[in-house]
Structure 1
Amino acid sequence: MPEPRPPVPNDIRLRKILDDTLVAPHWPQGFVMRCFEPADAHALHALLSEVFNDGADGPFEAWWPRISGDPEFDPALCFLAIDGKGRLAGAAVCWTSAFVKDLAVHPEARGQGLAEALMWHAFAAFRERGASQVDLKTNTVENAAAVRLYERLGMFEVAWTG
């Protein structure tokens, strides 16, 4: 994977060292986690489109071939939080290079700890695969609440390269 570059002002790269500070995810009552299955593709695209609301991923017909055909995509690294009615409430889409591409929680499911549980689960999955760290990109202005979450999880800012 090419090194991520800051595409817009206020973008930062954060890192979590996968050491003894990892804790088991705590799933909020009424939610379960499972890995992505091909039948989830439309629901995942809808969630990402709603949460990020920037149109950057485009229509499903363009998005899905781009994501599923990416050499970094592994369905086993796409973690879904499902609510008690079977709906997709949150997702962590991760690349095989130990990079969290997208973390999204539906607005109706926020404030319950889903994002934190998804991140702890992703950290554990990468540690099991032998990774020593996990990185992600976020924006300090547009995603200030996410930055606070990541800092609580022990993530810290690193240079864009390296």
Structure 2
Amino acid sequence: MSAKPYLHLCKKLEPGTAHLPEWPEGARLVEFTPQLAEASHRLLRSAYSQGGGEVPEYPSWLNALLNDPEYDPALVFPVLDSSGRVIAFAQCWTSGFVKNLAVDASRRRQGLGEALLQHILNVFTRRGSQRLCLKVEADNPSGAERLYRRLGFDDFREG
């Protein structure tokens, strides 16, 4: 099985450029807790099942998340709907990299991914990061690349 081609995109971060996220009605960002881990994993598996990436089985995923040297629970972002269901999720590394960002298929095209990514940009800007990067499969069917480029992410170039 050959690896799919990825795009490596980055955005330069500058102090004073924060934009307040516009969360869709009923969506609320909450602190990541162990109680949300399994539901967050299910969302990732579901979101990536049609393309865009792969997510290991829950025990392996959780172990990798919690034991990664770049893990910081403050950089894991679950978003719940009014019933408490995880409808969006992002996991970032301390180096300024978005490891995973997923939105429930039934909630796409409502501004949820944009609000979540805008929040992440603000967090890393406040932390003093110079840039935020991510990878996206070149043929990701979700429209993720369009979102990233609209928010100012560009092809990564060394130097």
Runs of 5+ unmatched residues, structure 2: none
User: How many Å separate the matches in 2 of 1:22 and 1:147?
Assistant: 21
User: How many Å separate the matches in 2 of 1:58 and 1:126?
Assistant: 27
Of 14, 27, 32, which aligns to 1:36? Answer: 32
Give the match for residue 68 of structure 2.
70
* Residue 52 (str. 1) matches residue 48 (str. 2): yes
Deviates more, 1:97-106 or 1:33-42: 33-42
Determine what percentage of the aligned residue pairs are the same residue: 39
Count of residues in Structure 1 that have an aligned counterpart in Structure 2: 155
User: How many Å separate the matches in 2 of 1:108 and 1:37?
Assistant: 24
Please state how far the C-alpha of 1:144 moved relative to its aligned partner. 6.4
User: How many Å separate the matches in 2 of 1:107 and 1:56?
Assistant: 16
Q: Contact 1:35/1:77 (CA < 8 Å) preserved in 2?
A: no
Give the match for residue 3 of structure 1.
none
Please state how far the C-alpha of 1:140 moved relative to its aligned partner. 2.1
Give the match for residue 4 of structure 1.
none
Q: State the TM-score, normalizing by the size of structure 1.
A: 0.88
Runs of 5+ unmatched residues, structure 1: 1-6
Give the match for residue 137 of structure 2.
139
* Residue 17 (str. 1) matches residue 15 (str. 2): no
Please state how far the C-alpha of 1:142 moved relative to its aligned partner. 2.2
Give the match for residue 95 of structure 2.
97
1:62-112: CA deviation from partner (whole Å, max 9, x where unpaired) = 211111111111111011111011100001110111100001000111111
User: How many Å separate the matches in 2 of 1:123 and 1:56?
Assistant: 24
1:9/1:58 CA distance change after superposition, 3 Å: closer
Q: Contact 2:48/2:55 (CA < 8 Å) preserved in 1?
A: no
User: How many Å separate the matches in 2 of 1:129 and 1:81?
Assistant: 21
User: How many Å separate the matches in 2 of 1:150 and 1:56?
Assistant: 19
1:43-73: CA deviation from partner (whole Å, max 9, x where unpaired) = 1111111111278432212211111111111
